[in-house]
Chains A and B, each alone.
Chain A
Amino acid sequence: MLIRLYELVVERSDFIFSVAHVSVAYQAGQRVLDDATFAFPAGSINGLIGPNGAGKSTLLRAVLNMIPHQGQGYLDDIPLAAVAKDIAYVAQTSRIDLTFPITVLGCVLLGTYPRLALLQRPRERERRAARSALAEVDMLDFQQRQIGQLSGGQLQRVFLARCLVQHARLIILDEPFAGIDAHSEQVMMALLRTLAHNGETILMVHHDLKTVPAYFDNVALINRRVIAAGPTATAFTDDALRQAYGLADVGGDRQ
């Protein structure tokens, strides 16, 4: 235990984003996530990979302090709870109420809220930032549309624009590429690469195993616990996949 803690301290001085000993139990004794620990360097795109029910979304919600948990995530040695405004988070879009009366522009403007004072409203400066973010994801023409009128890919691009206006240091996306068109996926990947190049750290849940080596600098393979974590070349191995997905699924189920 002492040795592991020591290692973690060393790691944290080298890495910007780390997850340390995160465990989640929905009912007493029944752990859905056990002692997850890994760390990724700044300015990287990182994949959180694992089968359904592996605890990927649970891990994200735990490090974001949205559910009861043990352990925590750090950004440069600082607990994530203390730098919440520097974190952008997009939940699975199936959790979003698409009938809500909000326009594309209104949705992107929400990303300016963490930087506004308690009673301060977004003004022209924020609106300009939101419009230029929409232009970057190629969605400016849709700014007055209600969000329910968009396709899945367009909606994800709008939420990415919300991350852009926030100027976050850590961007956490839960399955942004689930069921979206190839064009949207390419637009988003290109933007994420630019963001990573500028020093922002990206962590996303991803399901398409075929694209993992091309998309991610690092991966964490999990199934209730961390199976492997590190640079994609060394961590994303057949052996690790077999452990995470079970023998039968590998190869056949690379969706």
Chain B
Amino acid sequence: MISHFWTDLQSFHFLQNALFTSVTIGIVAGVLGSFIILRGMSLMGDAISHSVLPGVAVSFLIGIHPVLGAIAFGIFAALLITTIQQHSVIKSDTAIGITFSTFLALGVILIGLVHTTTNLFHILFGNVLAVQDSDMVLTIIISLIVLVVILLFYKQLLLTSFDPAAAQAWGMNVAVYHYLLMIMLTLVAVVSMQSVGTILIVALLITPAATAYMFVNQLHTMIWAAAAIGGTVSLVGLVLGYSFNIAGFKIEVQHRLS
């Protein structure tokens, strides 16, 4: 049954797109997720990926590329959470809970109002077999940008994650790297909307990195392991989903072929 996947992969362009896109996202989410879980920001990852939803709706309304609106709302949510934390007695987890549920609700309402062809279900859970060439290219470009930025600033990200007090004492602006990670998180959440969905990207951000975290004693090993695990589970998920017709795969395939 699984052998069908490989024969179909050679004949169907949409399946090739699905494969490249999901494996790319699995890899980049593993790398970024390593920093997210080490900084205790897993919930923040959840919050940001949910918060991009109203950004997508607003982008449709005013006619700009969804990535732009999503980034704006992602950063806005990150700023809002930090501000609530710093200027009230409310703790971080509560600030995150309030912010992301509000943004998610706002997003659902706005998408209902916009009447686009975009299906809400597809934004929330992704529709990996409907990934267009342009989506795939955007995913690969943004993933490359994120990986290069992490490579360039690896030293600073390591230091501010492990010992932010020393980083501050040495005159580094720790907040810059916090928001750099928030921006990259938003970017990954947005490009994964089509293939993984805004709800489930968190699984790819956290689980591979957390798995790697159990077995390593160096950050760069953790990152490589998380990337490998993320890429592999994306591949396995796609093969199994396609082969066993899980969650509407068959319907989608028939729709694509007709």
Report the separation of the CA atoms of residues A91 and B152 in the bound assembly, to the nearest whole angstrom: 27
Determine whether the beta carbon of A84 is less than 8 Å from that of B163.
no
Residue of A nearest to B221 (CB): A101
Q: Name the contact of A101 in the complex, choosing from B155, B166, B219 (C-beta under 8 A).
A: B219
Residues of chain B at the chain A interface (Cβ within 8 Å) = 38, 152-155, 158-159, 161-163, 165-166, 168-171, 213, 216-219, 221-222
Q: Report yes or no: A113 in contact with B219, Cβ–Cβ below 8 A.
A: no
In whole angstroms, how far apart are the Cα atoms of A215 and B121 in the complex?
A: 68
- Is A100 a contact of B161 with CB atoms below 8 Å? yes
When the two chains form their complex, are residues A89 and B221 in contact, meaning their CB atoms are under 8 A apart? no
Closest residue on chain B to residue A83 by CB atoms = B171
Q: How far is the CA of A116 from the CA of B155 in the complex (A)?
A: 10
Q: Do the beta carbons of A102 and B170 come within 8 Å of each other?
A: no
Give B157 Cβ to nearest chain A Cβ, in Å.
Answer: 12
Residues of A within 8 A of B153 (CB): 119
Name the A residues within 8 Å of B219 (CB-CB): 100-102, 106
A interface residues, Cβ below 8 angstroms from B: 64-66, 81, 84-85, 87, 89-91, 95-97, 100-103, 106-107, 110, 113-114, 116, 119-122, 144-146, 172
The 8 Å CB contact of B170, one of A95, A106, A114, A146, is A114
Task: Check if A84 sits within 8 Å of B169, measured CB to CB.
Answer: yes
Q: What residues of B have a CB within 8 angstroms of the CB of A122 in the complex?
A: 155
CB B222 to nearest CB in A, in angstroms, measures 5
Q: Is there contact, CB below 8 Å, between A91 and B218?
A: no
Contacting pair B162 A100 (CB below 8 A)? yes
Are A100 and B38 in contact, with the CB atoms below 8 A? yes
6 contacts between A and B (CB under 8 A): A89-B170, A91-B163, A102-B158, A102-B219, A110-B163, A119-B153
Q: Report whether A89 and B165 are in contact in the complex, using a CB–CB cutoff of 8 Å.
A: yes
Taking A87-B169, A113-B155 as contacts, is the C-beta distance between A101 and B163 under 8 angstroms?
no
Closest CB-CB distance, A78 to chain B, in whole Å? 13
Q: Which 5 A-B pairs have the closest CB atoms?
A: A84-B171, A146-B217, A89-B169, A91-B165, A64-B169
Residues on the B chain within 8 Å of A119, using CB: 152-153
CB distance from A126 to the nearest CB of B (A): 11
> Which of A65, A110, A120, A145 is close to B166, meaning CB atoms less than 8 Å apart?
A110
Contacts beyond the supplied A65-B171, A146-B217: 4 A-B pairs with Cβ under 8 Å: A96-B162, A102-B217, A110-B162, A121-B155
- From the candidates B159, B169, B222, name the one contacting A66 in the complex (CB within 8 A): B169
Closest B residue to A166 using CB positions:
B170
> Does the CB pair A85–B171 fall under 8 Å?
yes
Complex CA distance for A85 and B170, rounded to whole angstroms: 5
Task: Kindly report which residue of chain A lies nearest to residue B154, judged by CB atoms.
Answer: A121
Q: Are B168 and A103 in contact (CB under 8 A)?
A: no
Most interface-central of B152, B161, B166 (chain A CB within 10 A): B166
A87 adjacent to B170 (CB under 8 Å): yes
Across the interface, do A113 and B222 meet the contact criterion of CB distance under 8 Å? no
State the Cβ distance, B226 to closest chain A Cβ, in Å.
Answer: 11
Given the complex of chains A and B, what is the CA–CA distance between A116 and B158 in angstroms?
14
A102 engages B162 (CB within 8 Å): yes
Q: Which residues on B sit within 8 Å (CB–CB) of A95?
A: 165
Q: Tell me the minimal C-beta distance from B6 to chain A in angstroms.
A: 36
The docked-state distance in angstroms from the alpha carbon of A90 to that of B170 is 11
Q: Kindly provide the distance from the CB of B5 to the nearest chain A CB, expressed in whole angstroms.
A: 35
Residues in A neighbouring B38, C-beta threshold 8 A = 97, 100-101
Cα distance A107–B155 in the bound complex, in angstroms:
12
Q: Are A91 and B166 touching (Cβ within 8 A)?
A: yes
Give complex CA distance A120, B152 in Å: 9
How far is B167's CA from A84's CA once the two chains are assembled, in angstroms? 10
The residue in chain B whose Cβ has the minimal distance to the Cβ of A95 is B165
Q: Which chain B residues border A97 with CB–CB below 8 Å?
A: 38, 162
Give CA–CA (A85, B169) in the complex, Å. Answer: 8
In the complex, the answer to whether B218 meets A101 with C-beta atoms within 8 Å is: yes
Distance in angstroms between the alpha carbons of A64 and B153 in the assembled complex? 24
Q: Which residues of A contact B168 (CB under 8 A)?
A: 64-66
**Cβ–Cβ < 8 Å partners of A121 in chain B:** 154-155
Bound complex: CA of A65 vs CA of B168, how far in Å?
A: 8
The interface residues of chain A lying within 8 Å CB-to-CB of B154 are: 121
Measured in the bound complex, the distance between the Cα atoms of B94 and A187 in whole Å is 45
Q: How far is the CA of A81 from the CA of B172 in the complex (A)?
A: 11
Closest to A99 in B: B213
Q: How far is the CA of A168 from the CA of B198 in the complex (A)?
A: 47
Most buried by A among B155, B161, B213, B221: B155
